[in-house]
Structure 1
Amino acid sequence: MKTIQISTDILNIWDEKLLPNFDLLFFSKDSESLIPPLGPDILVFTPKDFFQDSSINTIDVINSYQLWGIKKELISYVCVVHPTVLPRLEKETLTEILTIQRHLSSGLAIERSTVSQLVEASQHTEINQLMDRYTFEEDSKQWFSMHRSLWNHFDQETKYAFLSYFAQQFIDDVSIDDNKLARLRELYPHLAPYFNSFATVNGANCLAATLAGISEQGAETDWIISQWVFESTLLFALKTKKYSKQPFIERELQPQDVLLWRDHHNHVIHACYHLEDGYFFNKHGQTLFNPWQINTMDNLYKTWGREGMELYRKQI
């Protein structure tokens, strides 16, 4: 049951952070000819310079354009583009550029049909025409690519509807009754304010959520839980808190246990904190749309699988 409420305050924060105040485009060597039509209001980077430039390649930009999945080996140029540029392009040129972005796994590309009802409900009569410019076809489907230059033209009602719809895709179905929720709030007062809620900053990841869990009362939970925490930081904290690795037996899970998932390189790719009775304090990713959610083992298996799992238990 998807029951997480999204406040207007959160929607306003997302409105500002969904996309940077510029459009970001990636090009392969074969598509270099599409850069000159963009005109003078662009900054062209080599991939090396862009990915090393922390003033532009910020955590917000990384999450906006989902840069963890981009095909870096195919990229020859990165263009930071003023938001007035794309609306001036010929439709054919824009379509080519947007299609390339999808091929390179960059950007916020969404099936047009999934948001049609949201757009149709808007009182802004120009929205469909605007979206048509950012729509392209691939794999027998229509997609549209969200960019700041398009987002700036959405009315507030459409923005809220879009953000709410988008966020729902990141919420797992979890059934938990009021009595159990009240008990978990009582047992874990340091985590209770974050149960089934959203962050206001990009970067707060699963390792930070788990670290906040084991830090317990007395720690600056709001500060800890809002950080981008690295694997080494969490592992050091587990050692300091007297956690040790134990055989994972699901039916024998205990409150305050920590689960880790490792990839084939032995890197920690996910962590969560067991509350009790198979309910976990969990955050699936580092974006604004990944909620801190009370979650279940089945949902964790669904997202992270059953391979590479480790259990850490606090020793008394």
Structure 2
Amino acid sequence: MKIEIRPSQETLEKWIKSFVPENDLFFLSEQELTSLEEYLHTVLVIPREEFKAHHSFNQIQLANSYEYWNISKDVPYVLVAPKDWITTLPAEKKTHLFHMQMKNGRGLIYPLPTSFILPSEINEYVIESDNQPHLVLQRAIWEELSYPIKSALMTEIARQWETWSCCEYPEHAPFYLKKFANTFPSHSGSNCLSAVLFAITQQEWMIHEWVHHQTFIMRLKQASYSLTSSEELVQGDIAIWENRQGVIQHAAYHIGDELFFNKSGQTFFNPWKIVDFAELKENWNECKISIYRKT
């Protein structure tokens, strides 16, 4: 049976505190940087390659908020600005900069439903694209918004990331998964691989980690999991989807009856959910599926 879930009030409060970073990041071309030349005396301009290797900017919440993976690879500079810098730009410059950030793929820019009413004082942070208003979130304006508006925005943004529909937690499922099943994380980082490792180890701390490919495979071997040719699923199996290069794109833990304990991304907008096998196969149909079983 399908049910709808939603984040708790406590979870929303934690999202609000961490979602919009303290400093603003802007991803710029050479031409865009030149157009802002007279306004750069209070900011840092970092070459993109140096930015990518910089420890301070590799934090998982920064990556998730700004959606690093979507930013155009052709953009050579990152402008790091204190929160008040954006407020000093002329309106025309500010609007142009926001449009360029949308074009370059930067995160923290979200379409707004026509029914969503924002205070008039933040109209300059709303831009039009494809005949729909988009809100550009910056730290200075985020601090000015009331808590009810922030809460409503967080809820709306979260719904744009992933459906809140999931399967009910079945009675036969392992009891230790119930604490997390069909709930939202409070912090970024947990991904599909860490969800599976928690499921097979019962080590609760692991579910909060950001686990990568090789670490995951090593832990499966340590837990005596190996590839099976069986087409019939049994409880405790792990389904793994790989791309053509053999890199794992997704994994989920079978709890029985073709239901899986699953997480679809590393943001806190991606809940730990109970989903059925058909949904997973549809979502990852371009990848090769393998089933691993404890021996």
User: Which is worse superposed, 305-314 or 148-157?
Assistant: 305-314
The 3 A distance-change label for structure 1 pair 38 and 197 is farther
Tell me whether 1:155 sits opposite 2:146 in the alignment.
yes
Counterpart residue number, 1:98: 98
222, 229, 244: which is aligned to 1:247? Answer: 229
161, 183, 187: which is aligned to 1:197? Answer: 183
The 3 A distance-change label for structure 1 pair 141 and 5 is closer
199, 224, 231: which is aligned to 2:206? Answer: 224
Whether the 8 Å CA contact 2:4–2:164 is kept in 1: the answer is no
The 3 A distance-change label for structure 1 pair 234 and 288 is same
CA separation in 2, counterparts of 1:301 and 1:95? 42
The 3 A distance-change label for structure 1 pair 38 and 261 is farther
Tell me whether 1:285 sits opposite 2:265 in the alignment.
yes
Whether the 8 Å CA contact 1:34–1:97 is kept in 2: the answer is no
CA separation in 1, counterparts of 2:133 and 2:68? 22
CA separation in 1, counterparts of 2:94 and 2:230? 52
Whether the 8 Å CA contact 1:118–1:158 is kept in 2: the answer is no
The 3 A distance-change label for structure 1 pair 118 and 37 is farther
Counterpart residue number, 2:294: 314
Counterpart amino acid of residue 258 in structure 2 = G
Whether the 8 Å CA contact 1:172–1:299 is kept in 2: the answer is no
Aligned length, in residue pairs = 293
The 3 A distance-change label for structure 1 pair 307 and 247 is farther
Counterpart residue number, 2:115: 117
Tell me whether 1:139 sits opposite 2:130 in the alignment.
yes
Counterpart amino acid of residue 183 in structure 1 = E
Counterpart amino acid of residue 188 in structure 1 = P
CA separation in 2, counterparts of 1:245 and 1:182? 26
Query: C-alpha deviations, 1:58-105, integer Å up to 9, x for none?
Result: 111000101012112x11211111111212322211111111111111
Whether the 8 Å CA contact 1:118–1:161 is kept in 2: the answer is no
Whether the 8 Å CA contact 1:172–1:295 is kept in 2: the answer is no
Structure 1: unaligned runs, 5 residues or longer: 121-126
Whether the 8 Å CA contact 2:196–2:238 is kept in 1: the answer is yes
CA separation in 2, counterparts of 1:87 and 1:190? 49
SS of structure 1 residue aligned to 2:278:
helix
Query: C-alpha deviations, 1:151-205, integer Å up to 9, x for none?
Result: 11210000111112222332342243xxxx2514xx4122221111111221111
Shift of 1:29: 1.4
Amino-acid identity (%): 29
SS of structure 2 residue aligned to 1:142:
strand
Counterpart amino acid of residue 133 in structure 1 = E
The 3 A distance-change label for structure 1 pair 264 and 37 is farther
Query: C-alpha deviations, 1:202-234, integer Å up to 9, x for none?
Result: 111110001111114xxx31x110111111111
Structure 2: unaligned runs, 5 residues or longer: none
